[in-house]
Amino acid sequence: MQSEFGRVSKVITERECLTIFMKENIMRKVLVALAIAAVLAIPTVAQAEVYEEGSCSAGNFSISFSNATFTAGIGWSTGSARTVAFQGSCNGCSWGPGVYGWWRNPLVEYYIGKSGGSSQGSYSCDGTSYTLYVDRRYNQPSIDGYQDFDQYNCSGQMSGQKDMSCHFNAWSNMGRGPGNHDYMIVSLEGFNGNSGSGSVGCTGSNWYQHWNNGGSSTFNCGGGPTSSSTTTTSGYTTTTSGYTTTTSGTGSNSIVVRARGTNGSEHIYLSVGGSQIASWTLSTSMSNYSASTNNTGGSLVCFDNDQSGRDVQVDYITVNGSTRQAENQSYNTGVWQDGSCGGEYSEWLHCNGCIGFGDIGGGGSTTTTSGYTTTTTSGGTTTTTSSWWWGGGGWWW
Ligand code: CA
Ligand code: CA
């Protein structure tokens, strides 16, 4: 009977009063089975209890319910320390959408975004703070029938992406688990006469369960929010699908050339990967000249209008904020050394020629994803995007 009583336990343990109600409700069935219903003069449950589970490849669901006690969720039949990215909403639910699941050894029922019990301390995950409360349950329905077990109620933000690895580690640091995972879902719950509708999408999930025991609720695979992608162009492409973000393409390299001329008419250009990126006419004071490029490969700063009285001094260049000193470069075809044009390790270009500043890579893209926000730093350009969802008649993020 673990399947029925176990799956319903999330409802039963929601609140003390509801626990009592549900316990009585289930006990009622037992009593009915013992043919004492007439003695107690309690009507038998009119609606058949329904439990269903299975595959929902859409990764999202919608549900409508009337005068119902129900739970419905989408997730994984076996939980793990994964990141759970979800969105959804519900009108008329008593709880959810939120992350909910079970362990064995120890037997634990957990909720993210719920309070009740004795505080075990606070911790930070998902960019926000939570407090773990533990509520000891005695002889209550569980995934293994009626048992004594702990209910972990994590008070804090219910919505948004959850790094369950972070939560489980925090609990473990408090001496609480981890246990062996049973199911882990993003669920909606209703009690004793709730009416309304809701929908939930959960990235990467394809397993659902739905339990109804009173009133009616209709589960539909699909019809909920779906993860989407966004593209940002700044010399590279960012694709966000749920909580997974990939960055591809060449980065936008930001380059600064610091230089001067001896008479202020010198002309120089910057070349990256064999192409001229930018050119400038210098002044007689050291100045910064900026350029950006998606090109990668070898970089050169070249002097190309040498005449009598014209010389160029290049102090350094910076590539995405990192300095490369001219005097540290071994490639210099414009410095006058040993009686001819060309040499090494000099800031000077006395002749037409170039200082080679080495290769420039793909912009040094780094991508970090935090909650629903993705920050990409590429070539000195920082782009922040939010993954978004469509569902329930509006945009979510
Ligand atoms: Ca220098
Ligand atoms: Ca010269």
Q: Which residues are catalytic?
A: 109, 189
Nearest CA among 94, 84, 240 for reference residue 160? 84
Q: Residue 297: pLDDT band by 50, 70, 90 thresholds?
A: confident
**Is the model's pLDDT at 137 over the cut of 70?**
yes
For residue 265, the ligand closest to its alpha carbon is 2
Nearest CA among 75, 83, 86, 73 for reference residue 125? 83
Q: What is the DSSP letter of 28?
A: H
Helix (H, G, I), strand (E, B) or coil at 21: helix
CA of 332 to the centre of ligand 1 (A): 14
Comparison of pLDDT for 323 and 386, the residue scoring more:
323
CA of 311 to the centre of ligand 2 (A): 4
**Is the model's pLDDT at 44 over the cut of 70?**
no
CA of 316 to the centre of ligand 1 (A): 5
Q: Residue 28: pLDDT band by 50, 70, 90 thresholds?
A: very low
CA of 216 to the centre of ligand 1 (A): 77
Nearest CA among 203, 241, 240, 245 for reference residue 60? 203
**Is the model's pLDDT at 189 over the cut of 60?**
yes
Nearest CA among 104, 96, 91, 40 for reference residue 73? 96
For residue 352, the ligand closest to its alpha carbon is 2
Report the chain's mean pLDDT, rounded to a whole number: 80
**Cα–Cα distance measured from residue 260 to residue 233, given in angstroms and rounded to the nearest whole number:** 34
For residue 328, the ligand closest to its alpha carbon is 1
CA of 314 to the centre of ligand 2 (A): 14
How many angstroms from the chain centroid is the CA of residue 192? 35
Which residue's entry shows tokens 């930018």? 278
Residues at Cβ < 5 Å from ligand 1 ion: 315-316, 325
Q: Determine contact, residues 298/330, Cβ cutoff 8 Å.
A: no
**Cα–Cα distance measured from residue 5 to residue 7, given in angstroms and rounded to the nearest whole number:** 6
**Cα–Cα distance measured from residue 65 to residue 92, given in angstroms and rounded to the nearest whole number:** 9
pLDDT single digits (tens) 81-104 = 998 888 888 999 999 999 999 999
- H/E stretch holding 7 reads helix 7-12
End-to-end distance of the chain based on CA atoms, in angstroms? Answer: 39
How many angstroms from the chain centroid is the CA of residue 276? 39
CA of 81 to the centre of ligand 2 (A): 66
For residue 316, the ligand closest to its alpha carbon is 1
In this predicted structure, which of 117-131, 226-240, 329-343 has the lowest mean pLDDT?
Answer: 226-240
**Cα–Cα distance measured from residue 375 to residue 163, given in angstroms and rounded to the nearest whole number:** 17
**Cα–Cα distance measured from residue 38 to residue 35, given in angstroms and rounded to the nearest whole number:** 7
Average pLDDT over residues 144-157: 94
